[in-house]
Structure 1
């Protein structure tokens, strides 16, 4: 009987320790989370983080072209710099109800401890991100850049080697 009691108590301690353990966010993740909350979004879950660097040639590959198409800034000052990417699932975002899921995935770009941009995607019933990315605030490429064909032509003229 003592053996079973010991096993049950141990199991309860292990389970309660795992469920109460909160994920410790990195400095970049805390910056991104704070930015999202200040923007009025409710952060539901942390989805991960990574980093990337862009070179001119990267601006024409997918999905990089699509990501840059919904940024409010130009990439020039970010070439060869590490851009930290931090992703969260949020609520209270303009894209929440596109697929009637009530949630949106947002990915925040951070350079030198400052949010420089990012993108958002509505979540489908399959829990996948769906379609082309939107700006971090949920705006389309046309709302951010104007006519897509005109923007793409200017982009090619400016960044093509």
Structure 2
């Protein structure tokens, strides 16, 4: 059951408009896929449960600590016309992060059965976003957010 574009409101509408403004064509709406309060515990280094949060926040242009104690909503879409579309059938998954009704970032991933970390919203790796090797980024993350 897909979401009818006419029925979307609030954060999903904001996320949808943002995806379209980036030039991506939405082929399906996955809706809200996650909602959580961001805190330092979600970013701790060396804990398996925090890997998805670290991977997501590692490719953002904003620093996570400015959103500590705030609720983050994540909306997901399948899109075409995305840089990662070359990996497969030209579709990619994008997730948009919102806080207090505003888009604060997002991630992308090839629409394929693959393992790995998400890319930035525009398809860049952690190394491309941060300008650091994964090892250097990991060491700095551990110092900043602890273990």
Q: Name the TM-score, length of structure 1 as normaliser.
A: 0.79
Unpaired stretches in structure 2, ≥5 consecutive residues: 45-49
* Contact residue 122 and residue 130 of structure 1 kept, 8 A: no
Distance 1:158 1:45 in 2: 37
CA positional deviation for 1:22: 2.7
CA RMSD of aligned residues (A): 2.0
The partner residue of 1:45 within 21, 28, 48 is: 28
Is 1:66 the counterpart of 2:55 in the alignment? yes
Q: How many residues are treated as equivalent by the alignment? A: 139
Q: Which has the larger radius of gyration?
A: 1
Runs of 4 or more, structure 1, over 6 Å off, are none
Q: Which has the higher contact order (CA 8 A, sep 6+)?
A: 2
Structure with greater strand percent? 2
SS in 1 for 2:82: coil
Please show how residues 89-104 of structure 1 align to structure 2 within 5 Å.
89-98=78-87, 100-104=88-92
Question: CA separation in 2, counterparts of 1:119 and 1:130?
Answer: 15
* Structure 1: tracts of 5 or more residues without a match: 1-17
Q: 1:119 aligns with which of 107, 110, 121?
A: 107
* 2:122 counterpart of 1:133: no
- After TM superposition, the score normalised by the length of structure 2 is 0.86
Deviation at 1:79, TM superposition (A): 0.9
